[in-house]
Each structure stands twice: as C-alpha cells, then as structure tokens.
Amino acid sequence: MAKWLLKRTDANVSLMASTLKISEDLARVLANRGIRTKHDAIKFLNPSTKFFGDSSEMKDMELGVQIIKRSIESKEKIAIYGDYDVDGVTATAILFKSLKALGANVGFYIPHREEDGYGLTKNAIERLHLENIDCILCCDNGISAVEEVSLAKSFGMKVVIIDHHEPSETLPIADAIIDPKQESCTYPFELLCAGGLCYKFSKRLFEAFETDFSLLDDELLVLAMIATFCDVVDLFGENRIIAKTGLKILNENKKVNRGLWHLLHEKEYDEKVLNGHTMGFIVGPCINASGRLESAKLSVELFTHEGSDDEVIEIAKRLVQLNEERKAITQDSVEIAIQEVNPEDKVIVVFNENIPESIAGIVAGRIKERFYKPTVVLTRSGRFIKGSARSIEVYNLFDELTKCRTLFEKFGGHAMAAGLTMVPENMEILKKCLNENCELEPNDFQEIIRIEKELLLDDITFELAEELQILAPYGKGNSEPLFGTKAVSPSDIRLNKDERTLSLKFAIGNNGRALKAVYFNAVDSFKEKLRAKYDEYETDKIIGGVLRGSNLTMDIVYSISINTYMGNQSVQIQIKDCRL
C-alpha cells in the first residue's frame, strides 16, 4: 500500500496568489515546489529562452568551441562520438547538423550496445585512428574514459567531451571537458542532459563563427526537448525552458524535423497535441529500439538523413517495427526475471542469461515498479556479466554501487539508474554487498504519494483545471500535482471495455452536477480493496455498477485534467490511489 503524505509549506500562499494574480491552489503548488520569490514564479510560469544562463560561463565551453572552430576551419576530420540511447542519439544529431551547417568535415560514430559497450572504447578509437580522424567530439559519454582518452591523445587526436554524467575522481586528459557537474564548474544549472548541453554548445559555436543560428534553432531545440524528457532529468530551471519551449515549437510545426514528422505519422500522432507523455512513451521508445535490437545509427539517420522522403519513411517504419519487437521481448524477459526475485532481499539482484543485455534496464525498471525495491538485472555478455540497475527515491544507487566498485570492470550512472560490467564470480559478492550495506527500513519500500492540498469536490472546477495546465509539462522534479478528498461516495461506477479501467461519477451538491473520474489499470487492485470490506458477491456487484446498499465511501488521491470528447470539454479527475 502506498504511503500518502500531505505537503506542507510556511509560505504566505494568499500573498503569492494576489501578487501573481493566480488562485491560491496554484500558488500552493508553486510553494510546494520551493518557489518563494516573484522572480522565480514568473520564470516557472512563463519559461522562456531569455532566461537561459550564459553558456560561455560553463567550464571549458569557450575552449571546446574554439577547438572545434579551428578544426572546422582547417578541414580536419571530426568524429562525433555519441551513445545509443535517446539522449545520445539526439545529442549526436544536434552536433552533426550544426557542424555540417558550418561546413565541417564531420561524421558520427555510435557504439553498438553489445559489440562495443557503453561509452568511448579503445577498439573504437583504434578504428577512428585508422580512418584518420583528427578530432573526437564526445557527447553523452567520455567523463570517465581516462584510459581511452589517453589512447586517443597518443594517436595525436584532439578530444572534446560534452557529458552530463557524474565525474569520477580522476578526469580524462581531454583537450576540453564540458560537464557542469564538475566541481570546478560554476555554471548555476548543472542538471542539463547531453541534448541540452549540445544545443547550447551548438548555439555558442555559431556565435563564434558569427553565423545566424535561427535557421537551425527551433529544430535543434526540439531535439534537445526530446532528450530532456527521455533522459528523465529534473524538469525545472533550464530543463523546463527546453521542455516547454520545445513542445510549443513542435506542436506549432510538426515538420520542424522531417524524420520526426514521419515517425509521428507512423505512430498516428501527426495530428494530435503532443506532450511529455508522447515524448517519453511514444517517440522515445522507438528511438531507443534501434540501439537495443540493431544499431542506434538508424535513429541518428532518422533525424539527419539528407536522402529522399521515401528513405526517411522507411527508417521511421523500421523504428516502429523494432519497438514492437522490443515490447514482446521485454514482456517475456520480465516474466523470466520475476521468477528469480527473492522478495526477502532489500536490494533485488537477479541474473538470467536469457535476458537480452539490451533490455536489462527496462526489465530492472519493471521489477523495481512491481516490488518497489532497488533492482539490478544481470545477464551474460561474452566472458563478462553485464547489468542495469534502477532505484527508488530513498536509495542513491550510484553511491551504493561506488561502495562496491572493486567488483566491477566498469560502472557508471547516477542516483536512480546505473550500468555495470563484472566477472561472473563477483555476482554473489555484489548481491551480498548491496544487501548488507542497505540501511533501508520496511517503511522505505512503500511508494510515496505526495499530495499538494486537500480539496472538496466543490473546489474542482473547469477554471482550476485550466489554470493547473500552466504547470505542464510534467516529469521528474515537476510531477503532476495530486490532490486529495476524504469520504466521498461514487454515484456511479462503470467497468470500461478494456476491463482494466473504471469510470466513476461523484455527485456534487444538490444541483445535479456530477464530477467524472477515471481510474486507469485499477480493476484488480480495486477488487482487492473491496474484498477486504465486502464479500465476493457484493464486490462483483459494485464492480458491475450496482451501488445500492453498499454504502461505499472512499478517500481518493487524483490529478485534475480537462477531458475533450467530440469537441466538448469538461473537467475530470484521474484517480491515482484510493482507500475504502
């Protein structure tokens, strides 16, 4: 059962509301997000690129820009070295399109997930050396590639790193390292993903060339927006600006990037209003699928291909097909992994060589959601064991894996996700190490639902729903606001055709007004709660919509949204959890 927590604030909500000319409900949500000044509130409610920091203040930004500028002017061969996830793909596309537009002799290299592994590798550097590459421009990797960068330097290559991962104690001897997480970097916002960093780098590069960036600006900002959603970085500060501005651009011009347009068309989203969910759960998985099942070069080509429309359409179709294949493999792998789980462990560590390395991270995420425990999923990769890990809010995965770092050939990541490589004999040692070091208590394994404010059903109006939309887009660090109401009785319950979703109505006052509610993927859990209060006959009767005599009363937690049906709009709530 989830733990419900009501957020508290000592802010003067009434003063905030009157100063900003917003409702007290919206003001409370802002206060709950730590927004306490008028300036911060205006920036949050009206995010704009004019609020971007000066990227030239970022450590090594000017140095990196000048190195690449000289390489372009000297017609040196430049290789953009990316990564196989959405952030790495879009960052590569941003840099490739920028450098090409400035006349660079440039190509890109995306490592193969299983043949190369993550990040800069010695084998790849040797191949690039044989191709007479003069300069490697890393994006979304490189911050921990100490030996690999040394090899590149021994070949006489220049290396510029643009990365957002946590730096290790020893940094590579690259010519420039742009990563705002470096201790010596004083840039005020350090949570940009690689796509965001590469967008800012590209803009600064155009300024160094005194060349107009406006022709590429919208397109590259949209690519950075996709990366921002899909890499699950915190959606405040500059990330919120990128996310909201990029979505606005894309909704106004879905053809801003030809490949993205064809992908949206294949997924039948070309005429829909796009939001963060579209990026994270429709677009992102298709981009990721190529890196999981084939090569992520295909996804970079979707965004950068200069050939015919027919060729781009074929790439889009292939990405959609690969994602469908990935879904089936994932479902099978999750079922396999569940059989290996020891529910007594505080940290779940499972190994099965039948789980493809490319989807271990997705499987770890599904297991984590099911058991609400930190999860590591391991599989065989040649003579090594490779794994992906996903965590819960109260457990810093990167810190805990760092305590076991002597067990790994290679590892990296952040608080909520990580990847690792080790020899097989260290698997059981890792499991023991993580569990013995884990200080989590039983209460920590409950999902936490944070409630902004307790409302009466009378408070829920179309005007409030409309006002709350200002807070979107939602994601990590800016979750959709949830509200709570106690002791309400549904006047109607209907089981939807999918047999997983419930539609409910709650009567408001005596004027015949009813508030519609939807409760997604809730039938099984709702039945379980009913069975704790009623017998099987009464439970089936309630699920079937017969409420007479049941005296069903609920506490509910929900979001408030606007439902559009056949051109008509109305306020509705989406129930996230309930107690009877």
Q: Provide the 3-class DSSP secondary structure of residue 572.
A: strand
Percent of the chain whose predicted confidence (pLDDT) is above 90: 90
pLDDT of residue 113: 86
* Helix pair angle (214-230, 194-208), 10° resolution: 160
**Distance (Å, whole) CA 367 – CA 388:** 12
pLDDT of residue 388: 95
The order of strands in the sheet holding 384-390 is 348-351, 375-381, 384-390, 417-422, 410-413
**Distance (Å, whole) CA 261 – CA 267:** 10
State mean pLDDT over 537-565: 93
**Distance (Å, whole) CA 85 – CA 486:** 43
Residue 449 burial (CB count, 10 A): 15
| pLDDT score of 510 more than 80 | no
pLDDT of residue 231: 93
Q: Six-digit token pair at 214?
A: 């406006």
| pLDDT score of 511 more than 80 | no
State mean pLDDT over 303-321: 97
As a three-state string, the secondary structure of 300-313 is HHHHHCCCCHHHHH
| pLDDT score of 130 more than 90 | yes
State mean pLDDT over 173-178: 98
Q: Provide the 3-class DSSP secondary structure of residue 168.
A: coil
Element (H, E) at 559: strand 554-565
- Please tell me which residue, 393 or 486, carries the higher pLDDT value: 486
pLDDT of residue 565: 83
Q: How far is CA 380 from CA 117, 353, 533, in A?
A: 13, 5, 47
| pLDDT score of 566 more than 90 | no
| pLDDT score of 400 more than 90 | yes
pLDDT of residue 21: 96
pLDDT of residue 117: 81
| pLDDT score of 527 more than 80 | yes
| pLDDT score of 168 more than 90 | no
> How confident is the model over 322-346, as pLDDT tens digits?
999 999 999 999 999 999 999 999 9
> How confident is the model over 71-95, as pLDDT tens digits?
999 999 999 999 999 999 999 999 9
| pLDDT score of 57 more than 90 | yes
Q: Which of 344, 259, 349 minimizes the C-alpha distance to 308? A: 259
> How confident is the model over 239-248, as pLDDT tens digits?
999 999 999 9
State mean pLDDT over 133-158: 97
- Please give the mean pLDDT across all residues of the chain: 95
Q: 473: cis peptide before it, omega within 30°?
A: yes
pLDDT of residue 166: 86
- Please tell me which residue, 387 or 511, carries the higher pLDDT value: 387
Percent of the chain whose predicted confidence (pLDDT) is above 70: 100
State mean pLDDT over 470-483: 95
Give 415's pLDDT tier (boundaries 50, 70, 90). Answer: confident
DSSP strands (E only) in 58-211: 77-81, 105-109, 135-139, 158-162, 176-178
> How confident is the model over 436-453, as pLDDT tens digits?
999 999 999 999 999 999
| pLDDT score of 49 more than 80 | yes
| Amino acid letter for position 363 | V
**Distance (Å, whole) CA 558 – CA 575:** 4
State mean pLDDT over 108-126: 92
| pLDDT score of 512 more than 80 | no
Q: Please tell me the chain's helix, strand, coil percentages from 3-state DSSP, rounded to the nearest 5.
A: 45, 20, 35
pLDDT of residue 85: 94
Q: Provide the 3-class DSSP secondary structure of residue 288.
A: helix
**Distance (Å, whole) CA 107 – CA 118:** 19
> How confident is the model over 243-300, as pLDDT tens digits?
999 999 999 999 999 999 999 999 999 999 999 999 999 999 999 999 999 999 999 9
pLDDT of residue 498: 84
Whether the predicted model's global pTM rises above the 0.85 cut: yes
